[in-house]
Amino acid sequence: MAFVKGSHHVTLSVGHAQEDVDFHVKTLGMQFIKRTVLFDGSIPIYHLYYGNANGDPSSVVTTFPWAQAGLVGEPGTNQAREVLLSVPEGSLDFWHQRLTEHKVVVENVEVLDRRRLAFRHPSGIEYVFVSNDNDPREGHPGYGVPAEYAIHGIHGVGIHVTTPERMVDFAQNTFYSQGKIREDGDRAIFQVGDESFGNHIELIGNRKDDQGTWRYGAGTYHHFAWNLDNLKNQDEIKFEIEGAGYTDISELKDRKYFKSVYVRTPGGALFELAVTHADGGWDCDESPQELGTKFQLPPQFEHRRTELLGQLEEIDI
């Protein structure tokens, strides 16, 4: 029987590489786990990966820094917008103080009568800290973030939509949503998959903004990836989605660390259906102790290593 296990990673289009590293590693304390390049197209662009202590699927944030290519996106409706991250219960006061000390504007917000922290990436992408007391994932302590306050991983994704009912129909009838839909004002919240954490979808009704861009461009959310666990299951899910009429879906793509299929949802957000590579995850090309220290390239780009390094922004990690 086909299933969605839970979340896998999120991928964002950001501005400069150095400010992205500084934000995720030096402000948020996340582990830098991989530095490679975008597999698609011919423009040399970094692909940077950050995670929790173990680099768990459902913990990883990846980014494409587009500033050096001059590509800028437009946030809007019918687009994934909010990066929802899970932090330990009781940690929000610590994070409010830390973000403020790092010159990040932070706001207390309330959803379902629970406090959250809302702030932005330097490129403008919306981040939200959601506190959870039942999240078993291990946070990464770094740059003054103690283990008891460190980020567990992904909480979910906030998607702005003009017609939430179409996305709800997709989730309920095609994409394995779980439990009841909870509502808070213009926000509808539900979970997808078998895990009890990291898999929340929050739909925000938004008919006032223009359509957001779906192409690459700094300041926008590119896709949210789901963990399909194995290739047989991934193929079955793809078949079901196509059979339901959602045919804006890609063929299988090998991303070295995982294999992926992409589908454009009726809410506009791009979903990735990912399976961690059978030959190894993040440590298939460097040891766990070395994660993020070496510039990794897929085999088809290895002969261009010197050329690519010469074109990419230098990063101080």
In order, the DSSP letters of 138-182 are PPPP-TT--GGGS--EEEEEEEEES-HHHHHHHHHHTS-EEEEEE
What is the average pLDDT score of the chain?
Answer: 95
CA distance 2 to 243: 14
| Model pLDDT, residue 280 | 65
Task: Report the C-alpha gap between 107 and 123 in whole angstroms.
Answer: 17
Whether pLDDT at 29 is above 90 = yes
What percent of the chain has a predicted confidence (pLDDT) above 90? 83
On whether the pTM is more than 0.75, the answer is yes
Up-side HSE of residue 206: CA atoms within 13 Å toward CB?
Answer: 20
**Protein fold of 6-311:** 2,3-Dihydroxybiphenyl 1,2-Dioxygenase; domain 1 (3.10.180)
pLDDT at position 139 over 80: yes
For 73, the 3-state DSSP assignment is coil
Contacts of residue 35, defined as CB under 8 A and 6 or more positions apart, other chains included, come to 46, 47, 48, 49, 292, 294, 295, 296, 315
**Confidence label for 317 from pLDDT (cuts 50, 70 and 90):** confident
DSSP class of 70: T
CA distance 31 to 49: 9
As a whole number, mean pLDDT of residues 82-111 equals 98
Q: Is the pLDDT of residue 278 over 80?
A: no
Report whether 145 contacts 47 (CB < 8 A).
no
Q: Helices (H) and strands (E) in the chain — how many of each? A: 5, 16
Is the four-CA dihedral 10, 6, 202, 147 of positive or negative sign? negative
Q: Is residue 277 very low, low, confident or very high in pLDDT (cuts 50, 70, 90)?
A: confident
Would you list the domain boundaries of the chain? 6-311
Residue whose structure tokens are 């980020």: 151
**C-alpha to C-alpha distances, 180 to 9, 99, 157, 168, 192, nearest whole angstrom:** 24, 34, 17, 11, 11
- Give the helix/strand (H/E) hosting 20: helix 17-21
